[in-house]
Amino acid sequence: LTRKNTLGFSANATFKRSDFGVGKFTSMGIGDDIALEINVEFQESKK
């Protein structure tokens, strides 16, 4: 669509806060599992 060289990727991960020693506030309804989603796109700039 833009006729520019484009590179993109996405990454997904799930981890437990308790694996990193972060256990506070779980009794207040904050869960132990954390979902991380990263989406990146790079486009070549015209010079």
Dump pLDDT digits (tens) for 1-43. 778 899 999 999 999 988 998 877 667 778 889 999 999 999 9
- Please state, in angstroms and rounded to a whole number, the distance separating the CA atoms of residues 43 and 9: 12
Domain, as residue range, for 27: 6-43
- Structural domain includes residue 37: yes
- Please state, in angstroms and rounded to a whole number, the distance separating the CA atoms of residues 35 and 8: 20
- Please state, in angstroms and rounded to a whole number, the distance separating the CA atoms of residues 6 and 4: 6
- Please state, in angstroms and rounded to a whole number, the distance separating the CA atoms of residues 33 and 47: 45
Number of domains in the chain: 1
pLDDT of residue 39: 98
- Structural domain includes residue 30: yes
- Structural domain includes residue 25: yes
In this prediction the pTM is 0.62
CB atoms within 10 A of CB 22: 13
Hey, what amino acid is at 36? L
- Structural domain includes residue 1: no
- Please state, in angstroms and rounded to a whole number, the distance separating the CA atoms of residues 36 and 33: 10
- Structural domain includes residue 27: yes
- Structural domain includes residue 31: yes
